[in-house]
Amino acid sequence: MSIIEVKVPQLSESVTEATLLTWLKQVGDAVSEGENLIDVETDKVVMELPAAKSGVLTK
């Protein structure tokens, strides 16, 4: 099984910081591609970031 890192994508040139607000899944939970994993906040917006691939969340 391959491991895929969860990374916050480049948001915009004006955004220099983002804060992880919430993990929507727990370690060991199955996730589907496109399913929301985390909530991220910047100075301008709160957004959900989806899973890039299906799998099981590990630490």
Residue closest to 9 by CA, chosen among 43, 42, 58 = 42
Structure confidence at residue 3 (pLDDT): 81
pLDDT digits (tens, 9 = 90+) for 43-59: 888 999 999 999 999 98
**Entry pTM:** 0.73
d(CA 42, CA 34): 21
DSSP E strand boundaries for 4-45: 19-23, 30-31, 36-41
Which amino acid type is present at position 31? Answer: V
Q: Among 21, 12, 58, which residue's Cα sits nearest to residue 39?
A: 21
Each residue's pLDDT tens digit, 2-55: 788 888 878 788 888 889 999 999 999 999 999 999 999 998 889 999 999 999
Per-residue model confidence (pLDDT) at position 20: 92
Instruction: Judge contact between 39 and 47, C-beta under 8 A.
Output: yes
In this prediction, residue 36 carries a pLDDT of 95
